[in-house]
Amino acid sequence: MEDTSKKFKQQGKFKVVEGSILTPENSGLKLIVNFINMKGTVDDEIYKTFDKKWQKIKQDVKGLYSTKTGEYKLGTLSKETTAVQSDVWVAHLLVKNEGVVNDEALGVALKKLATFALAEKATVHVSSLLMKQSNKMLELLKTHLLENGVSVAVYNEQQ
């Protein structure tokens, strides 16, 4: 019997936006991707961007680290998102160790993010600042999000 699961699955849409992740496009719920690390530090370039509008993100990430549980391991999508607006949430992916993105953990976390985004009927938004941190980011976005029907917007941040 023929496998029809992929035959009828709609692909997500991909677009590059010239602008800031702080003003995500699209209607409906928007999930902004944030990478967090094993040490709980918040000194990446992305936090400088977030701090221009949403200081709450840095506080929440520090809180996640200080109250870490057995689920605080590479490849985790935090159960707690940061709602910065009613229709804009920040999803925290624990994918960095020693300041370097672990691509295997990123793939695992993006797979979990795809399930969450589909359940919430959300689009996913990624800053170019995060895209630069992993050579496989685009490939992983395609494999785990776009091919599973989640639309993705990448913002070309002007620093």
The DSSP bridge partners found for residue 36 are: 94
**Contact, 35 vs 133, CB < 8 A?**
yes
Among 26, 20, 66, 22, CA closest to 42? 66
pTM: 0.91
Among 58, 50, 61, 114, CA closest to 88? 50
- Residue 159, pLDDT > 70, answer no
**Contact, 144 vs 110, CB < 8 A?**
yes
- Residue 6, pLDDT > 80, answer no
Measured between alpha carbons, how far is 65 from 62 in angstroms, rounded to an integer? 5
Taking only the tens place, the pLDDT of each residue in 112-138 is 999 999 999 999 999 999 999 999 999
Mean pLDDT of 13-38: 94
SS3 of residue 49 by DSSP? helix
Per-residue DSSP letter, 147 = G
The percent of residues in the chain predicted with pLDDT above 70, rounded, is 92
The percent of residues in the chain predicted with pLDDT above 90, rounded, is 75
Task: Output phi, psi for 100, to 5 deg.
Answer: -120, 135
Query: Which of 59-73, 84-98, 137-151 is predicted with the least confidence, judged by mean pLDDT?
Result: 59-73
> For position 98, what pLDDT does the model report?
87
Mean pLDDT of 96-117: 96
Mean pLDDT of 77-92: 95
Task: Output phi, psi for 116, to 5 deg.
Answer: -65, -45
Look up residue 87 and give its two tokens: 């229709």
Local confidence band at 5 (pLDDT 50, 70, 90 cut-offs): low
